Amino acid sequence: MAAIELRGLTKVYPGGVKALDSLDLTVPDGEFFALLGPSGCGKTTLLRTIAGLETATGGAVVIGDRDVTGVQPGGRDIAMVFQDYALFPHMDVTDNIAYPLRIKKVAKAARRDKAAEVAARLGLEHLMDRRPGQLSGGQQQRVALARVMATQAQAFLFDEPLSNLDARLRLEARTFLKKLQRELGVTTVFVTHDQAEALAMADRMAVMEAGHIRQIGTPAEVFQRPANTFVAGFIGSTPMNLLDGTVRGDTLDVAGFEVSVPVSAEGRLSDGEKIVYGVRPEYLAYSAEPAKGALSGRVVIVENLGASHLVTLDANDVTVQAVVPEGSEPAIGDTGHAVPRRDRALVYRDGELV
Amino acid sequence: MAQATSPPEVAEQAVRTRRYSSDAAGLGRLRAGAFVAPALLLVAAFLVFPALWVLYLGLTNYRLTGAAAAEPQFVGLGNLIDAVVNPEFWSSTWLTVEFVLGSAVIGQVGLGFTIAWLLRDRRGPLKRLVEGLVILAWILPSAIVAFLWVALLDRDAGTLNALLHTPGYAWLLDHPMLSIIVFNTWRGTAFSMMLYGAALGNVPPSHLESARLAGASGWQQLRDVVFPHIRGHILTNLLLISLWTFNDFSPFLLTAGGPDGKSEVLAVHVYKVALQSGELGTGAAVSTIILLINLVVAVFYLRLLRSKK
């Protein structure tokens, strides 16, 4: 087991596309770390550069105490699960799991024992003679995990490990993967474009955009206090309301409504300054009755989320979304009033959190 | 009630099946047959009929000239026995095996795969240049290519002798088999190169990367990832190339089978027996044997292909 440290890591593709721009990142020993971002943000490039599948243009990759920047992938003592699992179709499960050991010239009997031991842990023991083509998606994923575990590498890298599973299996696999990582205690970096997945599984996470890390933190920190409007808009299954506003003395003018200054921004704003007011739909208290400090408007859309509803208000031509518990959802055309929670609302100045 | 509307529906369905067939194109046997008939006629006229005609000729004493040309006699298996007893037939067969193994299996497949593998990740002018040159060798007409090679290997004014400073060295006389093997490798590598180029594009990059992360060497990556993935391509390629090379006549353009029959592969042997000696019957019998050998080779490869699972 080892920590992973990236220093000033830069990757420029031929043709001049800068996929990674001088990244610094430390993943402590044993941590489950998520790289999250929209497609094309560089998260997969970052993972592949750690693996050595891409060569860094600048900077250093340190695994444990060893600078592996110039080391071939096979010499870095890391293991990776690919998005398509990359199981060899002509080998049975045993041979697939034991493949890295075979390359390391481990004796055949020892290989088989190790493969059987790891497979038993993942509930694959009855499938050892099957070929990958005869396995379900979930089983294939566990074989890929078993192959990684059998290597006893210093660190694991997962590239979108859940994206090839169907929705229901994905939730199961999420729980399973988190439990497994906790038990093994191996430093693990995984890439995902699904913010819910990152929030659910990671100990800490980095949100990336265009080759830069926009925020690093625990899922709670990233969810509650997004460092900038990009992260604020990207995290959360219902996007945060980001509304233009102006500071007016002790209150804020947001879309023509008088809203109180959030706790986190108290005393940090100056009169007349332009800001962006951010509040998650979950942190808006919706009511049919007028209330002080509310954002009010006509109900345009009501979306069913299961145990709650997402209500979209047209507040002076600005769209405001609020989550309303089941049973109290309004009808379209009603007038609604949404009061932000002062302790959860945020203020952004020039795109950065105040 | 359902019955009220059901009977007319069934009747309508029956009409529809008569109009449109249930096959993928909706044509039915008759119309589908009409579509392929012209092609089948051409195949019959130019492939099936000549093949059967050769089989028949092989059983007669048909000659190019003389009495037997006017009224060929049926001689049964006599020609086959004559052909097999002839030591030249056996030396030709052996030379053909050498030619196929040397120029097709080792030369074209080996070189074609190597070029495709080395160029797999390359883009840009180098790749286009190499591919262009290799394909050029393939698309030039045989007559021109043969002329170029004669000019290259000529004893007195040949380019190769000029390059190697070995004036007067007779490549085509001293190394006739080596000459035609190198010639045919040069000539036919393009097909294998393109086929393997396409096949390598289908090897999932993640599989190669997975092997690299495990620490696999270049050879181990080939053995564990690439070859298992392109096994079908390799076999198909070997089948086609073996058969093409087996029946290839272009060595004749370089060495005319000589000197003293040292490069007389079977295709050339048939030509000499049938057209130069005029014994069409015996030539046809040798052709029949070639046909049988081709069938055996084809069945062998197809068996291998089918045993894939």
Q: In 3D, which of B157, B136, B146, B156 has the Cα closest to residue B179?
A: B146
Flag whether pLDDT at B269 surpasses 80. Answer: yes
- Residues A113/A134, Cβ–Cβ less than 8 Å: no
Flag whether pLDDT at A287 surpasses 80. Answer: yes
How is residue A121 written in tokens?
């842990």
A75 contact residues in B (CB cutoff 8 A):
215
Same-domain check for residues A134 and A174: yes
Q: Which residues of A79-115 are buried (b: 16+ CB within 10 A; e: fewer)?
A: bbbbbbbbbbebbbbbbbbbbbbbbeebeeeebbebb
> What is the band of B3 on the pLDDT scale with cuts at 50, 70, 90?
very low
* pTM of the complete model: 0.79
DSSP for B76-99, written as a single string: TTHHHHHHHH-HHHHHHHHHHHHH
Same-domain check for residues A257 and A223: no
What type of residue is A290? P
Domain-located, residue B20: no
In Å, how far are A240, A323, B18 from A263, measured between CA atoms?
18, 21, 79
Same-domain check for residues A79 and A105: yes
Domain that holds residue B199: 79-306
Q: Residues A80-88: what's their mean pLDDT?
A: 91
B213 contact residues in A (CB cutoff 8 A):
51-53, 73-74, 78-80, 100
pLDDT of residue B18: 56
A117 CA: distance to closest CA in chain B (Å): 19
Same-domain check for residues A219 and A257: no
Burial tier of A318 (Cβ tally within 10 Å: 0-12, 13-18, 19+)? middle
> What is the band of B2 on the pLDDT scale with cuts at 50, 70, 90?
very low
Count of structural domains, chain B: 1
pLDDT of residue B20: 63
Flag whether pLDDT at A272 surpasses 50. Answer: yes
Same-domain check for residues A279 and A311: yes
- Residues A258/A299, Cβ–Cβ less than 8 Å: no
Q: Nearest 5 degrees, angle CA A170-CA A173-CA A179?
A: 145
Q: Do B212 and A53 touch (CB under 8 A)?
A: yes
Of A213, A234, A255, which closes a domain? A234
By C-alpha distance, the chain A residue nearest B216 is: A103
Report pLDDT digits (tens) over A147-160.
Answer: 999 988 899 999 99
* CATH assignment of the domain containing A184: 3.40.50.300
* CATH assignment of the domain containing A328: 2.40.50.140
By C-alpha distance, the chain B residue nearest A82 is: B206
Q: Residues B28-38: what's their mean pLDDT?
A: 89
Of A234, A266, A300, which closes a domain? A234
Q: Do B220 and A103 touch (CB under 8 A)?
A: yes
Domain-located, residue B97: yes
Residue listed under structure tokens 């088989």: A112
* CATH assignment of the domain containing B246: 1.10.3720.10
Report pLDDT digits (tens) over B116-139.
Answer: 999 888 888 888 898 888 888 888
Question: Does residue B73 belong to the interface with chain A, where contact is any CB pair within 8 Å?
Answer: no
Contacts 24+ apart (CB under 8 A), A25-28: A25/A206, A25/A213, A25/A216, A27/A3, A27/A187, A27/A189, A27/A204, A28/A3, A28/A187
Name every residue whose Cβ is closer than 8 Å to that of residue A35 and which is 6 or more positions away in sequence: A43, A46, A47, A189, A190, A191, A192, A205, A206, A208
Same-domain check for residues A28 and A115: yes
Same-domain check for residues A114 and A214: yes
Domain-located, residue B17: no
How is residue A289 written in tokens?
């009755």
Count of structural domains, chain A: 2
pLDDT of residue B170: 78
> What is the band of B4 on the pLDDT scale with cuts at 50, 70, 90?
very low
Report pLDDT digits (tens) over A290-341.
Answer: 888 889 999 999 999 988 999 999 998 899 999 999 888 898 999 999 999 9
- Residues A77/A153, Cβ–Cβ less than 8 Å: yes
**Average pLDDT, rounded, for chain B:** 84
B225 contact residues in A (CB cutoff 8 A):
88
Residue A67 DSSP one-character state:
E
Of A215, A234, A253, which closes a domain? A234
Q: In 3D, which of B273, B83, B106, B124 has the Cα closest to residue B182?
A: B106
Same-domain check for residues A166 and A192: yes
B241 CA: distance to closest CA in chain A (Å): 26
Pair type for strands A284-287 and A274-279: unpaired
Residue numbers of A between 112 and 151 with CB closer than 8 Å to B: 151
Angle at which helix B280-306 crosses helix B49-57, to 10 degrees, equals 130
ipTM: 0.84
pLDDT of residue A22: 87
pLDDT of residue B308: 60
pLDDT of residue B21: 67
Pair type for strands A212-217 and A204-209: antiparallel
Domain-located, residue B151: yes
B223 CA: distance to closest CA in chain A (Å): 12
Same-domain check for residues A211 and A271: no
Same-domain check for residues A304 and A162: no
In Å, how far are B136, B188, B193, B253 from B139, measured between CA atoms?
5, 9, 14, 17
pLDDT of residue B94: 92
Where residue A205 falls (left for φ over 0; alpha for ψ -120 to 50; beta otherwise) is beta
Report pLDDT digits (tens) over B208-232.
Answer: 999 999 988 889 999 999 999 998 8
B225 CA: distance to closest CA in chain A (Å): 7
Helix or strand holding residue A230 (H, E): helix A229-234
Domain that holds residue A331: 241-353
